[in-house]
Amino acid sequence: MYSEEELRRAIERHARYSLGSAWRTLSPEDTFMAVSLAVRDGLIDGLLETERRYETTDAKRLYYLSMEFLMGLALRNNLSNLGLYQSCREAVQRLGGDLDAIMEPERDPGLGNGGLGWLVACFLDSLATLDMPGYGYGIHYEYGLFQQHIDRGYQRETPDDWLEYGTPWLIARPSEEVLIPVYGRIDHEQDRHGQYNPMWVDWDVIIGVPSDMPIAGYGGRTVNFLRLYAARAAHEFDIEIFNTGDYARAVEQKVATERISKVLYPSDATPAGQELRLIQGYFFVACAIRDIVKRYERTHTSFDLFPDKVAIQLNDTHPALAVAELMRFLVDERGIGWETAWDTTRRVMGYTNHTLLPEALEKWPVPLLERVLPRHLQIIYEIDQRFLGQICVHWPGDEDRLKRMPIIEKGTPDQVRMAHLAIAGSHSVNGVAELHTELIKHYLVPDFFELWPERFNNKTNGVTPRRWLLQANPPLSTLISRTLGDNWLTDLDALAAFETLAEDSGFRHAFETAKQVNKTHLADLVRETVHVGRSRCVFRHAGQTHPRIQTPTAQRHAHCVPVSETCRRRRYTAGSTRFRFFG
């Protein structure tokens, strides 16, 4: 990897040629960008070498499909995983900067909300660390869920514009865009042999434009990627309507299409919102399936080896339409017989369940699916009919199971149970904790467990120690490495050696000291962000900085103005003026 000198030259080069400025004139955001682009050079070298290695060995690849990827701040993580932390700190110091201050402007990618996104982010990190070919597929959201501010003691929510200053971590791949059909109708035709051959026609087209976020494993040997798709209209606008002066109607298709990748989890309280949610889920899995097949077909002329070279993991029910989409692709676009296509799909797919709550298990109204994805609904009905046949053979005359187990739930209107589709179409179904998995088997879908006990297994949730201990808790991680060495970073079982130190007074004192450092840091952070306790408010008056004992907000506003760019970036808020408080 890079030396300090090479890294310094790369930073200066990107400041000049990527950002068009001299290093000394850069804003805090551009300084962060220049350093990140220099680090990204190393990621791209690793990415290309990793892909070359995979292609040479024809490695089996895992593709993780998820609506959320809560990746966290990337600069610190990449510096750590690439082994560049100290070199970068020294390079920046030689340029007259401070690395901690430079990392401050980075925005958390607004691609996730909670445990669903954290889990898959940690999996991608661990897969790369273990030198495994593991990739993520999701949506390139323009806005995350929301950003929270505390204003006069009340929570305020604003759109999470995580791309306000751009991001250095996404590599645009416009040449690899894919065309995704949606809406339309079914023509009920016959093929030349007189067999039923439905044709999906008159569909609209959504263009999926990918960007890649490199994911480096610890040590930097393997760099995989997270591929995110943004939605773009097939036609930017209707020039004839535009020329008549109806500008809004001329671009309405563009606006409607790009809503798909506008925001994470749009409200589904209205029919339009529900339709948008459905299209979001379909859009990214359809993009992923096309991309996965394209990569496979570069080196294979038939689908005989597809299950041996491809694994697709469905992270919760959001990507469950991948089952129907892969079936549609194999049957309609590659002419593979139903039985072979179904066996291939089932052997490729795996499903991770995240919740036991019925309201969180997605169901889609049949009329909505029929209008938006008519061919997929046909395929789901066929899957359901064949599945009902299995139930009748396994439990003859059991009417209760015929009501509980189908993929299509009878009602007003009928609903497609996405969890049932995912289970039927997967060879592996897992929960994310031992208790959770047992509840899935014996409470959520006991009929499915009784039918296919071999499919159910457990994968207990975990987090990567590189980010959640090495970086998140430097005092403790330094103590661990000083005591046990660095093996624990890739083998957490090594931490068991701490049991022998439980009665070691010297180690216990060092452990308490590390905890105290963190508690002091937390107290400072609480004081800075929510203004708890007596603090000195730093304000400027007549060109000088003066301490002032904290006073009520109305009095303080008369004297205080924003102190630094750091305050603005962190959005410390008191009324309409931002402050930085020091203890």
Give CATH 3.40.50.2000 domain extents, the chain: 63-74+110-458
Mean pLDDT of 385-404: 95
Confidence of residue 41 (pLDDT cuts 50, 70, 90): very high
pLDDT value at residue 518: 93
pLDDT value at residue 344: 98
List of residues 6+ apart from 520 with CB closer than 8 A:
none
Residue 168, CA distances (Å) to 36, 87, 92 in order: 6, 20, 18
pLDDT value at residue 25: 93
**pLDDT mean across residues, the chain:** 88
| Position with higher pLDDT, 491 vs 133 | 133
Quick one: how far is CA 481 from the chain centroid? 30
CATH 3.40.50.300 for domain 63-74+110-458:
no
Mean pLDDT of 555-561: 40
Mean pLDDT of 558-571: 40
* Encoded tokens for 495: 């931490």
The structure's pTM equals 0.87
176-224: pLDDT as tens digits: 999 999 999 999 888 778 888 899 999 999 999 999 999 999 999 999 9
114-126: pLDDT as tens digits: 788 989 999 999 9
Confidence of residue 558 (pLDDT cuts 50, 70, 90): very low
* DSSP-assigned letter for residue 46: H
Burial class (CB in 10 A: 0-12, 13-18, 19+), 181: middle
pLDDT value at residue 248: 66
H-assigned helices in 154-251: 239-243, 247-250
304-346: pLDDT as tens digits: 999 999 999 999 999 999 999 999 999 999 999 999 999 999 9
Quick one: how far is CA 542 from the chain centroid? 48
Task: Report d(CA 348, CA 354) in Å as an integer.
Answer: 20
Burial class (CB in 10 A: 0-12, 13-18, 19+), 434: exposed
Task: Report d(CA 458, CA 435) in Å as an integer.
Answer: 9
253-264: pLDDT as tens digits: 778 888 999 998
List of residues 6+ apart from 246 with CB closer than 8 A:
none
Task: Report d(CA 255, CA 257) in Å as an integer.
Answer: 6
The sign of the CA dihedral 416, 419, 420, 421 is positive
Q: Above 80 in pLDDT, residue 426?
A: yes
pLDDT value at residue 583: 31
Residue 566: which of 33, 31, 104 has the closest Cα? 104
126-150: pLDDT as tens digits: 999 999 999 999 999 999 877 777 7
| Position with higher pLDDT, 550 vs 35 | 35
Mean pLDDT of 451-480: 91
pLDDT value at residue 467: 85
Instruction: Tell me which amino acid residue 317 is.
Output: T
443-462: pLDDT as tens digits: 999 999 999 999 999 999 88
Among the ranges given (15-29, 191-205, 423-437), the one the predictor scored with the smallest mean pLDDT: 191-205
260-313: pLDDT as tens digits: 999 988 888 899 999 999 999 999 999 999 999 999 999 999 999 999 999 999
pLDDT value at residue 12: 96
- Other CB atoms within 10 A of residue 26 CB: 18
Q: Above 50 in pLDDT, residue 523?
A: yes
pLDDT value at residue 575: 32
72-81: pLDDT as tens digits: 999 999 999 9
Quick one: how far is CA 96 from the chain centroid? 35
pLDDT value at residue 246: 64
For the chain, the residue count is 583
